[in-house]
Chains A and B, each alone.
Chain A
Amino acid sequence: MRTFLAILAIAVCAAVPAMAADIRKLDLGKSAEVWLAEDHTVPIVSFNISMPAGSAYDPAGKAGLAAFTAAMLDEGADNLDSAAFHEALANKAIRFSAGTERDYLVISVSSLTENVPEAMRLLQLALTKPRFDAPAVARVRTQIIQSIQQAEAEPPRVASKAFTRIFFNGHPYGHPSTGDVDSISGITADDMRAFARTHWVRNGIKIAVAGDISAEQAQKLLGSTFQRVSNAAVKPLPAIGRLGAPGVHTIPMNVPQPSAVFGLPGIMRQDPDFIPGYVANYILGGGGFSSRLTQEIRVKRGLTYGISTSMSSYSKAAVMLGSVATRADAIRQTVQVVKDTMADFAKNGPTQQELDDAKTYLTGSFPLAFASNGGTAGQLGAFQRQNLDIGYVARRNALIDAVTLDDVKRVSAKLFDPARLTVVIAGTPAQAGARPRPAPPAAQPPAKPDAAKKP
């Protein structure tokens, strides 16, 4: 073992991705942030476009409006009805998708180089002349409602939805971005037209482009694509009050594997403590096999297939969020191990070795995000939505390397307070009983503890 580890001790050079050097800004007016990573190896261009049209902008009583409107983005524009619009995309193999986050609508477009002008023409039509035809609206409405209904039977989605409601109590971040059956049923085509007009705007837009396109071409093409998109300003979101409702909230469901979602108030992205907090979270629960939570809950106890935590920061709030799923008779024990592991981490922090390992992972793996055009556009877009400047790409690894053990301990003590933890369990916890160990092969028929334990 010694000889092996000696080899491994060489530090990973904290390489800045090669592409970072080539990332440049394009000019689409003061209210837009546009970055380009040019690379001509593969004849593909990827776009990641973010607009202030996330689910937090859903008006009261119309939860899901932003997401419903986004789902209509490829459902017809100008003289193309839904079927014609989809055919226009498919004829040129243009990949077009839209997702709704809390703050942003994120549109991803990928195209073969030769079809980029057509991709941008269709995007412009979708953004400026959406049709919201009655048949398409009715169809998508039913699709969304069926998806919501199915989600009501899935523990991870039930837990996540309830956690969001409880944690962001009353704020627009608190309603499910998909909406609920009642709100989706009540949304009209006029609601969507109004939402698109006021929120599908270039005031506050972020665009990341990567791949086989020159700066000159990109500048010209994006200029003409977004020229007709409104530049109106979007009304800012309200400030947020207290986050979280400490304790365990249980939503009974008769399922083989309950899910738990847990969280704490996080650290805002612009706070200098964000980076130390991010590193701390990696060590506690963000880092796959190397994380404390995975070690304690999966590796040592075999309680789950996966446990992870993450640090998210939105424009008005930040959250440290985690999730885990395990069998009904182990869910209480699992949540307790999460709390104990967190308490120990808050009190003692990581070891120097854990910190060093976290840094080499976080810095060394950074270039992996830039190994493809799609990956690069997605990563740059994520940075843009965090309001980071273009120079951050080059600075990022040095910021992580500068984190000290004291930084991590100080931030962890503040952040990881199990007494403040909001926990939502979807599923019905069962009493932990004597679970027979597996019988040797063929010795006797295996016991069926799970079937017997259902209440």
Chain B
Amino acid sequence: MTGSRTIAGLVVSVACLLAGSAPIVAQPNSDAPPPARAAAPQVFQFALQNGMQVVVIPDHRAPVVTQMLWFKVGGVDDPPGISGLAHFFEHMMFRGTKSLPGDGFALTVSKNGGENNAFTSHDYTAFYEQIAKDRLPLMMRLEADRLANLDLSDDTVGPERDVVMEERRMRVENDPQSLMNEQMAAALHLSHPYGRPVVGWMDELRHIDKLSAQDFYDHHYAPNNAILVIAGDVTPTEVRDLAQTHYGKLRARTLQPRAEFAEPPRLAETRMTVTRPDARVPVFVRTYRVPSYAQARPGVAQALEVYGQVLGGDQTAALYRILVDQKKLATDAGASYDGDARDAGQFSVYAVPRPGVTLEALEKAVDQVMAGFVANEARASDLSRAKTDLVSATIYRRDSQMAMAMSYGRALMIGMTVDDVNAWPARIRAVHAAAVNRAAASLSRRNAVTGYLVPGK
């Protein structure tokens, strides 16, 4: 129960507007299992005439509402040479409109008792507010205003670019594990923009200016590129009327089509050793390029999800049990599948050696554990526990408006449907030992990057 499980933190390629609000890393899609009262939550969906999609998730426990406005634009849409523009632009959405200049947006939310923030990933950008339910009309008015009337100026672009550079220093340059993750992603994805950091390369952040920001706004921020998710103390009818009033009047725009990037075949494993004086503990990490939920044939992504859990989801999983508890080679070890992407997903394993154990020996031991899942089927009790964890997470999620809004929003952003989210628990339950076997066998070192983080000058 120490903090060391987060040491390898793996790849969180999300950057957000304000410090202190780590992105919620929820299971992407899922829902509720058997107990009668835990039936699927009621989720309503409709579209406005201008193309904006709307999802409503009622929860009447408290007179509170969560609004999330998602845009199908993210780091992959950064123009060549200006990585970080999508994330920078997320920041600029808080820099004022003609009718509500300066920091009016955030200040208005605060003075109305609300919280707000935003985040950007490779595939999407989302803005959200949590507030008393009677403030929802005001929140919609504010969001609609900045979606149509943002007022960009050189006076705000300059300082905000400096803020983003500080964000990069904080999240990446001051953190050896993040630096290695960034290098590994760049190597894993070859030419696909998933290899570019969402927060941007420092030397390219310097190229951001008002023109590039304005161009980005004009071509990506439009009702027909957005999905509105409202969770909380509301009814679908009430949301439909309000959304029609505030967002319905916005005109659809011609969007810049999203590029279809190739994922060139990888012909060989990439290996790297990153030596840093600010790394005090060695770490082994390997990331595999694998199909995402959006790409995978039915059942394949779910099998990778279950494999990630049974291999390294918690202290009861194989990597921890064997490498940490039994062989005493590691102090921590884990694995996870991140299939929440429009293009390639990622499967990651990591381990932290005990003092005196080499990374080479540790890597070999990790490979043995993984080979065991190719050669043999997982134990029934382990498989069952892994599925229980994944499926139960979807019930826990129902305790939080934000977690519910996140899970549906994220799924829709990568091209999944509300039905996919609702069917996820059943699909996870349907994953059999043989499918986990196949998932384990599908991981090829040719499709992987192996990184050693080593303390040193």
Contacts and interface: CB of A to CB of B under 8 A. Distances in A.
Given A95-B396, A112-B392, A257-B170, A442 B280 contact: no
A87 B401 contact: no
B110 A299 contact: no
12 contacts: A15-B63, A41-B60, A42-B395, A114-B35, A140-B2, A150-B279, A290-B107, A368-B62, A371-B130, A438-B207, A438-B208, A446-B207
B166 A327 contact: yes
B316 to A, nearest CB: 5
B321 interface: yes
Q: Which 8 A-B pairs have the closest CB atoms?
A: A364-B113, A306-B19, A302-B162, A302-B159, A93-B392, A289-B106, A438-B206, A257-B169
Contact of B59 (A41, A70, A91, A113): A41
Interface in A49-91: 70-75, 82-83, 86-87, 90-91
Contacts of B173: 256-257
A289 B114 contact: no
Nearest to B276: A153
Contact of A90 (B60, B277, B316): B316
Contacts of B20: 306, 308
Interface string B98-114: 01110110111011111
B176 A153 contact: yes
Contact of B170 (A7, A83, A98, A305): A305
A4 B100 contact: yes
A300 B159 contact: yes
A326 interface: yes
A337 to B, nearest CB: 13
Contacts of A398: none
A446 B331 CA distance: 43
Contact of B1 (A8, A73, A211): A73
A290 B324 CA distance: 47
Contacts of A92: 388
Contacts of A367: 62-64, 132
A437 B94 CA distance: 22
A41 B111 contact: no
B64 A368 contact: yes
Interface stretch (A28-36, A141-149, A339-347): A141-149
A87 B385 contact: yes
Interface string A274-299: 00000000000001111000010011
A442 B204 CA distance: 10
Interface string B32-76: 000101100000000000000000000111111000000000000
Contacts of A327: 165-166, 169
A130 to B, nearest CB: 12
Contacts of B430: none
A1 interface: yes
B352 interface: yes
A326 B132 contact: no
Interface in B90-138: 94, 99-101, 103-104, 106-108, 110-115, 130-132, 135, 138
A370 B59 CA distance: 13
A440 B7 contact: no
A361 B316 contact: no
Interface in A370-391: 370-375
A237 interface: no
Nearest to A96: B1
Contacts of A356: 111
Contacts of A289: 18, 94, 103, 106-107, 110
A152 interface: yes
B399 A372 contact: yes
B113 A75 contact: no
A441 B81 contact: yes
A112 B395 contact: yes
A390 B51 CA distance: 49
Residue among A82, A152, A441 facing the most chain B CB atoms (10 A cut-off): A441
A139 B206 CA distance: 46
Given A97-B1, A112-B392, A302-B161, A150 B7 contact: yes
A360 B315 contact: no
A1 B100 contact: yes
A257 B7 CA distance: 20
Given A8-B108, A15-B63, A150-B281, 14 more contacts: A41-B59, A43-B395, A288-B18, A290-B107, A300-B159, A303-B162, A304-B166, A326-B166, A357-B107, A362-B113, A370-B62, A371-B59, A375-B400, A438-B209
Nearest to A437: B158
A228 B161 CA distance: 59
B203 A448 contact: yes
B315 A446 contact: no
A196 B159 CA distance: 52
A93 B114 contact: no
Residue among B1, B165, B324 facing the most chain A CB atoms (10 A cut-off): B1
A142 B82 CA distance: 43
